[in-house]
Amino acid sequence: MANVGLRKPYVAKYDRQAKSYSDGFRYSHAVSMGITPNYAEASLYGDDVQVEYEKDFVNAAITLGTTSTPLQAADTMFGHTVDAENKEVTYKATDEANYVGVGITGVEKVDGVTQYIALIILCAKFADSAESYSTKGDQLQFNTPSIEGTAISADDEGNWKQTKIFDTAEAADAYVRDFLNISDVPSI
């Protein structure tokens, strides 16, 4: 298996009590996504040998790089006050980020065959991205935003991520949108 592509990140607010998604949107164009699970580990030794080993999921660090940060992310993800009509965002020190679900379509090659992976992080909380600006200078350079978050179990069963394989990108994209309860997505 070789990961050869990444497409269409979507985000929707996650209600942990109702276990449902709302206020979903397309989060710009995908540049990169990294998911690093973190585990708690313990070993038990007896009679000078290891007799037990336990490894349990704790959370996962997520980094999502995109071409831009949409205005809707400020409210839905980060809890900031948005005046959409004037394209203005007010950031307060007391703003609290919301839990969200994040879905993407990954592109993989397996034995020369392309397949599309719908991947959904079920429950995560993100922080605002660092911002970087620079003058053009002698060469053009793109500075793209990257947000970092932490995924946790979305339910009492410990579910935190879900994937499904499809033959077409359209089917994977539709699965992600349906899962996150996103019916109407404007084109980017």
Each residue's pLDDT tens digit, 92-109: 999 999 999 999 999 999
Q: Is residue 49 part of a domain?
A: yes
Instruction: Name 24's Cβ contacts closer than 8 Å, sequence gap at least 6.
Output: 10, 11, 12, 13, 177, 180, 181, 182, 185
* Distance separating alpha carbons of residues 57 and 160, to the nearest angstrom: 9
Mean pLDDT over 79-93 rounds to 94
pLDDT bucket at 21, cuts 50 / 70 / 90: very high
Q: Is the dihedral of CA 178, 66, 23, 38 positive or negative?
A: positive
- Coil vs helix vs strand at 69: coil
Does residue 140 carry a pLDDT above 80?
Answer: no
Q: Is residue 188 part of a domain?
A: no
Domain count, the chain: 1
Q: What is the pLDDT of residue 188?
A: 58
Does residue 137 carry a pLDDT above 70?
Answer: yes
Q: Is residue 69 part of a domain?
A: yes
Structure tokens given for 29: 């164009």
Instruction: Name 21's Cβ contacts closer than 8 Å, sequence gap at least 6.
Output: 12, 13, 14, 15, 101, 179, 180, 181, 182
Does residue 185 carry a pLDDT above 80?
Answer: no
pLDDT digits (tens, 9 = 90+) for 58-75: 999 999 999 999 999 999
Q: Is residue 115 part of a domain?
A: yes
The answer to whether the beta carbons of residues 95 and 73 sit under 8 Å apart is no
* Distance separating alpha carbons of residues 73 and 81, to the nearest angstrom: 11
Q: Please indicate whether residue 133 or residue 42 has the higher confidence score (pLDDT).
A: 42
Q: Is residue 60 part of a domain?
A: yes
Which element (helix H / strand E) includes 72?
helix 71-76
* Distance separating alpha carbons of residues 91 and 88, to the nearest angstrom: 10
Does residue 141 carry a pLDDT above 70?
Answer: yes
Q: What is the pLDDT of residue 42?
A: 94
The answer to whether the beta carbons of residues 104 and 5 sit under 8 Å apart is no
Does residue 40 carry a pLDDT above 80?
Answer: yes
Domain region containing 83: 2-179
Structure tokens given for 1: 């298996």
Q: Is residue 187 part of a domain?
A: no
Q: Which of 3-7, 53-57, 104-108, 113-117 has the lowest mean pLDDT?
A: 3-7
